[in-house]
């Protein structure tokens, strides 16, 4: 039985610039788009007085982790983002680490170990984090929140700032929406 396979361009009537997004095995935003996002987050962090950001995602709801790194969070991931430094992501489960490294090659990906928040706290310590200077975005579980607050004081809530950043779409993000039509 012969199958008729149309290209994405023909099937979806896409502009040439959108075809690459649809036909990629793992579509990725450009380096320029990712730099734009990190710059915007750095400005929001500076405004809030945060030197470091912990972003949390779980259950395929990666929101801020995905937005800053392109890792499509599966079970659990915690991102440590420090402007001017390479992002670090602690990923659960161990077998998800190779795919995370493929999708977010600009980040330092590691297994979260027996406790993802302990791994995140160790990374913050390695970066010289100070109490009262940690921003937090995402729905960090209560026990993990308490562990973070016990070590670095009350985190700065960055959820509203993140939501504001997400409201303004870049031209590239709009292209991705256009390529998703079907």
pLDDT in tens, 34-90: 999 999 999 999 999 999 999 999 987 879 999 999 998 888 999 999 999 999 999
pLDDT value of residue 123? 98
Q: What is the pLDDT of residues 98-147, one digit of tens each?
A: 999 998 999 999 999 999 999 999 999 999 999 999 999 999 999 999 99
Q: How far apart are the first and last CA of the chain?
A: 25
- Say yes or no: domain 11-176 is CATH 1.10.10.1100: no
Whole-number pLDDT of residue 182: 46
Distances (CA, A) of 174 to 78, 171, 178: 27, 5, 6
Q: How far is CA 84 from the centre of its chain?
A: 16
Q: Where are the domains of the chain?
A: 11-176
What ranges in 24-132 are assigned the alpha helix state H?
A: 31-48, 63-69, 97-103, 116-126
- pTM for the full model? 0.86
């Amino acid at each position: 039985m012969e199958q008729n396979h149309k290209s994405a361009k023909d099937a979806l009537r896409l502009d040439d610039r959108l075809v690459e997004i649809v036909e990629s095995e793992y579509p990725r935003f450009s380096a320029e788009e990712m730099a734009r996002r990190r710059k915007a987050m750095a400005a929001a962090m500076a405004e809030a007085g945060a030197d470091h950001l912990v972003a949390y995602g779980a259950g395929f709801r990666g929101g801020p982790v995905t937005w800053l790194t392109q890792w499509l969070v599966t079970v659990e991931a915690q991102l440590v983002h420090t402007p001017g430094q390479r992002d670090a992501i602690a990923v659960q489960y161990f077998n998800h680490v190779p795919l995370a490294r493929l999708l977010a090659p600009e980040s330092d990906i590691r297994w979260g170990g027996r406790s993802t928040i302990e791994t995140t706290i160790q990374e913050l310590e390695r970066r010289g984090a100070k109490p009262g200077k940690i921003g937090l975005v995402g729905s960090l579980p209560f026990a993990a929140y308490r562990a973070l607050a016990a070590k670095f004081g009350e985190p700065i809530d960055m959820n509203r700032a993140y939501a504001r950043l997400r409201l303004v779409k870049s031209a590239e993000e709009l292209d991705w929406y256009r390529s998703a039509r079907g």
